């Protein structure tokens, strides 16, 4: 697309508009599957009202009815064309395409369609690095596209897309246009619907609706799964404070707190348990990164009510009593951020480095390899169970050690690459706190 035939205006949202031969094409639509065959516009209007979106493009295929939503406040008006719908109407049900939209600025477009539906998050314009990353994310998934249309400078295979031909005015149809949601079905659409009902028998319509319904359920499940993965990735990136690849969702260590975060979060609570609370004596405490528990036992004439009153406002719940009311457990809820993904060290180096660190404190840690269990993906509605996942590319070792040294001191400066803690436990023995730490070391 030449510089004089494609222009765009920077926008505060993901929605962008490019022009080609006097026609305006919109990217960044929010794509959503519609479940009703005859009342899809009503469903679209309801979705638009709930999300403050008032412009829509409707796609109807044998497999799916899909709506792309956008707001008039983004400079979009009726009569413009959806770029993704225009390409999807010509390229088929399974493909991914990317191309440069500006010969000067670093701006590329990407559109992807699978099983007839435009994939959410793959109808946008961004920098070359952003588009490359989005393509890499799609390649990392189990989806197989029939066709890849990629620019040669990406060096990722595929063939270049002929945007000039696909966006030619002679190829544009009314169904690719955006329309306001305040209107329902057009007269032409109503006529077509009535004609279809008359021509097709009631029994055939029922069978077709059931078949289409099943396929839509499957498509919605795929789209929902993809949206959930993107949401989980966004949460992980926000907690880790750094860009994360889609593969991080498959790495258990990426979703767990760093060693420093775990120790700090647990210690803030565990170090503050007093040895006595109104006659109740401290016994032990443990932290799993979600909550900190402490056990106390009753001495002398101490009462349960005294413990309840003394801990009110300091714990997340009332004390839980057991042992005929002579023992109690206190609980404080905590929230720790995910540490994010990181490269793993070789198993030999990781084991040697970590064991050597503890040996320097005259400690005797245990590091034993445990089987890595990769969750089996669930089958989508109407589909057979997927094949077992490939074996993991990493190993897992359980770490455990016991010491009278505070975890903050025993782990400060330790080689923690690939290490995640599972539990810190403190127990009072002969007036001395004994600490036990359990965690998992991931290595390759």
Instruction: Give the residue with greater pLDDT, 172 vs 186.
Output: 172
Check pLDDT > 80 for residue 86: yes
pLDDT score for 11: 40
The length of the chain, given as a count of residues: 444
- Residues 366-413: tens digit of each pLDDT: 999 999 887 766 665 556 777 777 788 899 999 999 999 999 999 999
**Residue linked to tokens 């590091």:** 367
For the segment 246-262, the average pLDDT, to the nearest whole number, is 88
Check pLDDT > 70 for residue 240: no
Judged by DSSP in three states, 38 sits in coil
* Best-predicted range by mean pLDDT (13-27, 65-79, 155-169, 317-331): 317-331
Average pLDDT over the chain reads: 87
Q: List Cβ<8 Å contacts ≥24 apart for 307-314.
A: 307/277, 307/278, 307/280, 309/278, 310/277, 310/278, 311/277
Fold of the 252-259+337-373+390-443 domain: Alpha-Beta Plaits (3.30.70)
**Total-model pTM:** 0.51
pLDDT bracket for residue 110 (50, 70, 90)? very high
pLDDT bracket for residue 233 (50, 70, 90)? low
Token output for 73: 């406040």
pLDDT score for 436: 97
Domain ranges of the chain: 16-232, 252-259+337-373+390-443, 274-333
pLDDT score for 117: 92
Check pLDDT > 50 for residue 305: yes
The answer to whether 20 and 4 have CB atoms below 8 angstroms apart is no
Q: What is the 3-state secondary structure (H, E, C) of 228-276?
A: HHHHHHHHHHHHHCCCCCHHHHHCHHHHCCCHHHHHHHHHHHHCCCCCE
Distances (CA, A) of 83 to 61, 111, 117: 17, 8, 14
Check pLDDT > 60 for residue 52: yes
The answer to whether 347 and 370 have CB atoms below 8 angstroms apart is no
φ, ψ of residue 152 in degrees (nearest 5) = -60, -35
**Residue linked to tokens 């959503």:** 32
């Amino acid at each position: 697309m030449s510089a004089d035939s494609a222009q765009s205006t920077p926008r505060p949202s993901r929605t962008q508009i490019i022009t080609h031969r006097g026609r305006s094409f919109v990217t960044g639509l929010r794509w959503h599957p519609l479940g009703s065959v005859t009342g899809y516009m009503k469903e679209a209007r309801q979705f638009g009202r709930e999300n403050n979106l008032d412009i829509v493009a409707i796609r109807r295929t044998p497999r799916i009815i899909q709506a792309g939503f956008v707001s008039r406040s983004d400079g979009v008006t009726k009569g413009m064309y959806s770029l993704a719908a225009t390409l999807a109407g010509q390229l088929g049900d399974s493909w991914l395409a990317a191309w440069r939209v500006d010969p000067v600025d670093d701006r590329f477009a990407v559109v992807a369609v699978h099983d007839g539906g435009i994939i959410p998050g793959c109808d946008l314009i961004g920098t070359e690095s952003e588009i490359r990353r989005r393509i890499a994310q799609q390649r990392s998934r189990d989806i197989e596209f029939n066709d890849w249309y990629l620019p040669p400078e990406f060096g990722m295979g595929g063939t270049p897309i002929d945007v000039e031909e696909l966006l030619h005015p002679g190829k544009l149809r009314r169904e690719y246009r955006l329309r306001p949601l305040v209107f329902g079905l057009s007269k032409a659409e109503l006529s077509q619907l009535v004609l279809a009902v008359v021509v097709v028998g009631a029994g055939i319509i029922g069978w077709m609706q059931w078949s289409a319904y099943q396929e839509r359920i499957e498509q919605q499940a795929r789209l929902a799964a993809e949206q959930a993965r993107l949401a989980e990735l966004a949460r992980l990136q926000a907690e880790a404070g750094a860009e994360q690849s889609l593969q991080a969702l498959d790495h258990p260590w990426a979703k767990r707190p760093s060693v420093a975060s775990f120790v700090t979060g647990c210690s803030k609570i565990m170090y503050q348990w007093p040895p006595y609370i109104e006659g109740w004596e401290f016994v032990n405490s443990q932290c799993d990164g979600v909550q900190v528990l402490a056990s106390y036992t009753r001495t002398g004439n101490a009462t349960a009510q005294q413990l309840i009153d003394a801990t009110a406002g300091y714990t997340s719940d009332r004390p839980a009593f057991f042992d005929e009311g002579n023992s109690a457990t206190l609980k404080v809820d905590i929230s720790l951020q995910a540490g994010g993904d990181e490269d793993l060290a070789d198993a030999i180096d990781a084991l040697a480095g970590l064991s050597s660190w503890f040996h320097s404190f005259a400690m005797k840690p245990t590091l034993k390899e445990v089987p890595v269990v990769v969750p089996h993906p669930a089958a989508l509605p109407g589909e057979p169970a997927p094949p077992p996942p490939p074996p993991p590319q990493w190993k897992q070792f359980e770490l455990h050690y016991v010491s009278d040294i505070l975890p903050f001191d025993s782990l400060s400066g330790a080689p923690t690459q690939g290490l995640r803690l599972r539990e810190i436990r403190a127990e009072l023995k002969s007036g001395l706190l004994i600490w036990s730490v359990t965690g998992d070391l991931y290595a390759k």
